[in-house]
Amino acid sequence: MRPRKSLIERCAGPRAAEPLRAPFALGDRKVLAEILNKAGARSVNIETLKGVARFPSIRVMVEADLRGWLPLMGVTLTEQEIATILQEAEEVLDQYVTDDGRVTFDTLVHIATATKS
């Protein structure tokens, strides 16, 4: 069975989907520690904190990535691609919308501290 494509990948292809995965590339604490150790860091300590992400709407959340992050990563989408993604995002992400129209979801962040050898 093939993995299901993300909304962005379905609408704009892997050229847009891959850069959006980049901020989450170090989500595995063990891998993060290994990278830091290989870079010469010592006394590595990784703390995982729980939080809640909050956005005023699905549109604001998604458009920030489409018009902000993607161009920084060298990817510019057409207005039609953006419109299609925003329309589909309203349906796909509906489960995260609160009664007042805001978007909230639980999230984790790793804080790594170390000393240089």
pLDDT for 61-111, tens place per residue?
A: 999 999 999 999 999 999 999 999 999 999 999 999 999 999 999 999 999
Proportion of the chain in helix, strand, coil states, percent, rounded to 5: 50, 25, 25
> Is 103 domain-assigned?
yes
> Is 30 domain-assigned?
yes
Closest CA to 90 of 74, 103, 99, 107: 103
Which of the 8 DSSP states describes residue 24?
A: G
> Is 60 domain-assigned?
yes
Q: How confident is the model at residue 2 (pLDDT cuts 50, 70, 90)?
A: very low
- Identify the three-state secondary structure at position 57: coil
Q: Find out whether 54 and 102 touch, Cβ atoms under 8 Å.
A: yes
CB-neighbour burial class of residue 89 (10 A; exposed 0-12, middle 13-18, buried 19+): buried
> Is 111 domain-assigned?
yes
Give the chain's domain count.
Answer: 1
For residue 75, the enclosing domain spans: 7-116
> Is 88 domain-assigned?
yes
Q: How confident is the model at residue 56 (pLDDT cuts 50, 70, 90)?
A: very high
Q: How confident is the model at residue 24 (pLDDT cuts 50, 70, 90)?
A: confident
> Is 2 domain-assigned?
no
> Is 32 domain-assigned?
yes
